[in-house]
Amino acid sequence: MPEVLFEFVRQGNYVKVTAIEPETRLEASVVVPASLSREQMQLQALKKLKYVMEKQLNGSSL
């Protein structure tokens, strides 16, 4: 997978993590517990981004 950018926004005990693929401008967000490590947060957002990308490649609407 090409470069992926991550944005983290803390909301109390949770963090909204957005993964953005700059080339296609696709993005996906997840809300995870703030107790997770940064790497775990990124992994969850990356999994969702891959899911969104696969759906778009297969022509399915979300």
The helix (run of H) or strand (run of E) holding residue 35 is none
pLDDT tens for 7-23 read: 999 999 999 999 999 99
Mean pLDDT of 32-61: 92
**What's the pLDDT at 61?**
59
Q: Which of 62, 53, 59 lies closest to 19 in space, CA to CA?
A: 53
- The tokens of 42 are what? 């990124």
Global confidence as pTM: 0.86
If one counts every other C-beta atom within 10 angstroms of the C-beta of residue 30, the result is 19
**What's the pLDDT at 59?**
79
